[in-house]
Amino acid sequence: MDTYVIGFRALNKTMLASVGGKGANLGELSRIKGILVPDGFCITTDAFRKIIVLNPAINELLDSLSSLKRHDTNQIRVLSAALRKLIEETGIPQDIQEAIFRGLSESGIEKAYAIRSSATAEDLPTASFAGQQDTYLNIIGKEAIGQHIRKCWASLFTERAILYRVHNGWDHRKVQLSVIVQEMVFPDAAGIMFTADPLTGNRKVCTIDAGFGLGEAMVSGLVNVDQYKLYKGKLIEQQIALKKSGIYSLREGGTTVQELATEQQQKQVLREDQLLALEVLGRIIEAHFDGPQDIEWCLEEDTFYIVQSRPITTLYPIPKAPDDENRVYVSVGHNQMMTDALKPLGLSFFRLTTPASMLVAGSRLFVDVTAQLASPVRRAQLIETFGQSDLLIKDALKKIASRKGFIKPSPEATTQPAGYIDKTMSWSDLAPFENNPGIVTDLIQQNQNSIATLRQNIRAKSGAALFAFIREDILELKSLLFNPQSWAVIKVALYASSWINEKMYEWLGEKNAADVLSQSVPNNITSEMGLALLALADVIRPYPAIITYLQEVTTDPFLERLLLFKGGKEVYDAIDHFLNQYGMRCAGEIDITKNRWREQPSLLLPILLGHIKNHTPNAGQQKFAKGQQEAFQKEQMLLDALVRLPDGAEKAAETKRMIGLLRNFIGYREYPKYGMINRFFIYKQAMLQEAEQLVAAKIIQAPEDIYYLTFEELAEAVLSHKQDQTLIHERKEAYNRDQKRNLPRVMTSDGEIITGAYNTEHVPAGAMAGLAVSSGIVEGCARILLHMEDAVLEAGDILVTRFTDPGWTALFVSVTGLVTEVGGLMTHGAVIAREYGLPAVVGVENATRLIKDGQRIRLNGTEGYVELL
């Protein structure tokens, strides 16, 4: 085999390092029965490396390039131009020239060729890098071919290719370039075929774009194209475009844009029989590569040629099903207010704590709701349940349920879906809770006692005994999470909130009355945490030297140095006290692997410094008192208005009872999760001690490696003192890849993403619709935050983020409004927003992308929309 030139039929998928993703795929395509591929060869990466080595100036420029970041656009532009000029002007060494000439002689030196780039980081299952390097068509003659080979090498360093690598974290030196020299096809038509719908993700829908002439016109966006969709051998949709021009080959070489004859401009590019034949070819190629493909094709004299195939890397993975029946999956992350990817240990721990059967896809959790949708009664309950938490999921489920024949009907079932809360209650159901707030106190004490017992007993456990102990204790955790009395308290609170909103609107025309009545309620562990942070800021505020020190802190540990300052002992003790109460929390806390505030206290510094800057002393006490006063005034206003109605005394009495139930019990909604996160942190600390021993024994490289094992795999590693480091490396790469994926709310077993929509009748034109969860209208500057540790807030800011869980609510006391992409009426962020009297709209799709940081917006938390001002 030649070092520098390899023919297509000698290539396969194992030769990525030599010929790049595109070249390796062409080798695979060339050997698939029934697939016609224009012949050619690849100039290997050995040739590219030799060009680089022979020119020291190129290496110097690469050294300069390696230190640049995404924002260094001017330097990237200058270095890009310099690198390309050097490479294009570098002569091709004699031995490489001879190898290329041999390859051309075998194919026919007089023929026309397409010269394409093939990078080692291109057309991969994990990243397409499509279009980052250059392609040249209809190149004729040895000299022209050599010139365009150098242009392809140089195209590795176009600005777009450099920025793409920087964005995806690829080392410029580790990406090598092969060049494809392929016989030209002079097609009547050409285009692109996706064996899955790239917009919906449906793996059973094949989409085809087609235009007259060369496919380059379509890739470069120069011309309109016909668009076709096929489903299992049937043409289900087509759009015939007005095609004014196409790109065609010139006799002397190169290409030109040519205007089409009038009668051809609206002509259908492909007949139906041709479309069906192309779909068959696509499915053959898809089966060979074991995954959906993005395929470039040409049609010449009624014969299809395939000139490229690459994986579609943008599709969200599908949860694995036990059979081929149609299934519907709902995201767990959207209900847990954490849509980030979870590491394997985090996934397995969350699955251990829930009775629901959960599936993993894209490092996120899903539940299969097919069985509920198959039964009319359970379907109604399921859709109502999601209506309480996420209206977009509710609407998506209604859409899929309305499709005839998609889900086979099943006999009626009496069991209710997980999380379903029946809204129907009678006064006799509520009577045991009236005037009995001690129920909540007892439940909290029971949880605290259990955690204290766990903390004491786990100290003596290690090795296999530790993991057996944790398995046993998870049963205790589940008994607390799903304690019937605990659920009853939450049910009563939710019922009271719903009743108040419904009746006050019916009787008084008052919208969302429960929002104000929920302010400053007792026993809300999450809102108490936010107020405790304000109190902590009060402790720090009198010491300017400590404030300056904290402003300069960039890493942990930093607490011990506080003792060197005046007031340092007081501040240290106050922070330590806060961490003892709330240090197990963090953003994204359902993932046990996330750094907790106790583990990384510096995560809290932006919040504390913001509180010192934006608030006056005793702001926490004042805020709580203000909320209590507003809730009391709201109650009096409602009762006064009710007594003036027919049967007013009775209505006022009923309402007063409901307000009492709401205020006594709605705060407890936050406690069960706090108890779970407490236990998670205790488990984690114990497991990290085992991880230290695995590191000492050189079984893993770092304690954090255990995050990429499931609970059972970690237990086995501790028992056997064996672990495959390759598995950990692969899982790290998969996690990093999955972290970039957008999590769908609802998807099917076909991979189709079902999107829901809001009823926008009440939403002004141009406004962004969402779910109103906390009443009020506020204007301010949008502060876009994707990571809580980046929080730098000014007075009057409106927080705009993807999701909030209890860790995020520490910021709520510093903002005037809240907008999230994910959320529901009774999720944590909504509950705390209401308690703080913070106007909030959740479930605003793409809010963090459509709203600009610093942009002035108006948030309507009563009607549920955001206006861009």
CA distance 758 to 766: 14
CA end-to-end distance (rounded Å), the chain: 65
Name the residue with tokens 């507003």. Answer: 630
Report the SS3 class of residue 231. strand
Check: CB of residue 316 under 8 Å from CB of residue 753. Answer: yes
Position 196: which residue type? A
Are the beta carbons of 18 and 44 closer than 8 angstroms? yes
Sign of CA dihedral 618, 620, 622, 625: negative
CA distance 156 to 48: 11
Are 532 and 581 spatial neighbours (Cβ–Cβ below 8 Å)?
A: yes
Work out whether strand 177-183 and strand 135-140 pair parallel, antiparallel, or are unpaired. Answer: unpaired
* Nearest Cα to Cα of residue 308 among 133, 49, 112: 133
Residue 231 in tokens: 């489903």
CA triple 203-207-213, angle to 5 deg: 150
Task: Look up residue 12 and give its DSSP letter.
Answer: -
SS3 235: strand
d(CA 396, CA 416): 20
Q: Which of 138, 175, 141 is nearest to 155 (CA)?
A: 175
Look up 71 and say whether it is catalytic: no
Distance CA 552, CA 567 (A): 18
3-state secondary structure 775-822: CCEEEEEEEECCCHHHCCCCCCCEEEECCCCCCHHHHHHHCCEEEECC
**How does strand 817-820 pair with strand 798-801?**
parallel
| Half-sphere exposure for 619 (CA within 13 Å, toward CB) | 23
Helix H or strand E segment including 768 = strand 768-769
Bridge partners of 771, per DSSP, are: 842
* DSSP 8-state symbol, 416: P
Tokens of 187: 């097609």
Query: Are 532 and 579 spatial neighbours (Cβ–Cβ below 8 Å)?
Result: no
- Residue closest to 802 by CA, chosen among 778, 825, 779, 785: 785
Tokens 């909604």 belong to 669
Provide the token pair at 524.
């809300």
CA distance 45 to 20: 8
Question: In angstroms, rounded to a whole number, what is the distance separating the alpha carbons of residues 324 and 550?
Answer: 58
Which of 148, 172, 334, 828 is an active site residue? 828
CA–CA gap between residue 679 and residue 480 (Å, rounded): 11
Q: Is the CB of residue 803 less than 8 Å from the CB of residue 780?
A: no
Q: What is the CA radius of gyration of the chain?
A: 32
Sign of the torsion angle spanned by Cα atoms 589, 594, 596, 601: negative
Measured at the CA of 647, the angle between CA 645 and CA 648, to 5 degrees, comes to 50
Which residues are bridge partners to 800 per DSSP?
784, 819
**854 is written with which tokens?**
């610093």
Question: How far is Cα 857 from Cα 852, in angstroms, rounded to an integer?
Answer: 10
Beta strand 135-140 with 112-119 is antiparallel
Residue 699's Cβ-count burial label (10 Å; 0-12, 13-18, 19+) is middle
Q: Is 357 buried (19+), middle (13-18) or exposed (0-12) by CB count in 10 A?
A: exposed
Query: Which residues are marked as active site?
Result: 828
